[in-house]
Amino acid sequence: MASTTLTLPLPFAQRHHRVSQRQVFFFTKFRNRVSTSSSASKRSCSLKRAYARARNALNEQVVEAQSSDSRKDTQRNPSSSKLVLVVGGSGGVGQLVVASLLQRNVKSRLILRDPEKATELFGEQDKEKLQVFKGDTRKQEDMDPSIFEGVTHVICCTGTTAFPSRRWDDDNTPERVDWVGVKNLVSALPSSVKRVVLVSSIGVTKINELPWSIMNLFGVLKYKKMGEDFLRSSGLPFTIIRAGRLTDGPYTSYDLNTLIKATAGQRRAVLVGQGDKLVGEASRIVVAEACVQALDLEVTENQVYEVNSVEGEGPGNEAEKWQELFKAAHSR
């Protein structure tokens, strides 16, 4: 089965300009021809002037090409002053969210119970690019105001298992994570935050229907819905992403190079709906990208979406395609 791999963008210096390289070759040949024509001084002067004009024109084109790339980079990263707080950054979706932000050169801040995990997962990063704070959203006293200073956007992708497991150790239950943790986080956020993206689950409005009643035996869907409702009533601009059953890695990662190799096979086409009508699976890669895209798209403000993924080509990281997907969901 074919697979798709997340890859880091080429450095700026490696992207430059095949056209300019051909021009440089032409320019070099032109210069050599000028140097062999010194026997005719008048003609040489004329050629040198032409050479100077060609050199200046080439320099102008190279500068323009560089400026064009710079503009494109700015369009890809429209908010250079953006600081995104990621909560749950060591989880499967959270790791991919952080990796995507690092790829885009967007400044990020993590709240982790164990800050050392950041280095294990993402390697050594510039502290201006990736900031790490120790904290636990389940504990209100951990939500120190200093954590939120300068934060412009928030992505919350915390979660635990629906049924009792070892992940429930240390009071890591759905009630504590999906309800108390979300409530503590949202209550602590400053009113200046431009968007809060919360990862939830499909089926949260159908806890009395099969199969959701089975999924909710220990309250996971009920508590996720309570977290959603608290965010919606907070007055903060929000986007809620209700994911289908999560598939694909990473389940664990050791550094960014490992992380970005997570694959989704052929399941990269995205289904976006509203009204809790979708039933299916969602690639963690797709869910992470939906979260990052929702940060800047006006159409997603104060909206709730269900997201699934199926076989086919996906929208990748193209904002226009994601905007079309979100918009189309409004009309269904």
The pLDDT tens digits of the residues spanning 154-180 come to 999 999 999 998 989 999 999 999 999
pLDDT of residue 80: 60
| Same structural domain, 136 and 251 | yes
- Is position 317 within any domain? yes
Provide the domain limits for residue 32: 18-76
| Same structural domain, 179 and 96 | yes
| Same structural domain, 118 and 184 | yes
| Same structural domain, 54 and 93 | no
Nearest to 5 by CA among 328, 291, 287, 260: 260
Listed residues 52, 76, 100: the one ending a domain: 76
Please give the Cα distance from 199 to 318 (Å, whole number).
20
| Same structural domain, 48 and 139 | no
Please give the Cα distance from 28 to 263 (Å, whole number).
45
The pLDDT tens digits of the residues spanning 86-113 come to 999 999 999 999 999 999 999 999 999 9
- Is position 286 within any domain? yes
Q: What CATH number is given to the structural domain containing 294?
A: 3.40.50.720
Residue 141 has pLDDT above 50, yes or no: yes
Residue spans of alpha helices (H) in the chain: 18-35, 41-76, 92-103, 116-122, 174, 182-188, 212-215, 220-232, 256-259, 284-294, 319-330
- Is position 224 within any domain? yes
| Same structural domain, 219 and 127 | yes
How would you label 191-211 residue by residue, b for 16+ Cβ within 10 Å and e otherwise? eebebbbbbbbbbbbbbeeee
- Is position 24 within any domain? yes
Listed residues 76, 104, 120: the one ending a domain: 76
- Is position 11 within any domain? no
The pLDDT tens digits of the residues spanning 208-254 come to 999 999 999 999 999 999 999 999 999 999 999 999 998 876 654 44
| Same structural domain, 66 and 175 | no
- Is position 13 within any domain? no
| Same structural domain, 261 and 307 | yes
| Same structural domain, 110 and 62 | no
| Same structural domain, 30 and 138 | no
| Same structural domain, 59 and 152 | no
| Same structural domain, 260 and 199 | yes
> Do the beta carbons of residue 239 and residue 300 sit within 8 Å?
yes
- The domain total for the chain is 2
DSSP 120-168: HHH-S--TTTEEEEE--TT-GGG--GGGGTT--EEEE-----SS--GGG
Question: Across the chain, what does the average pLDDT equal?
Answer: 79
pTM confidence score: 0.74
Assign residue 326 a region (left: φ > 0; alpha: ψ between -120 and 50; beta: otherwise). Answer: alpha
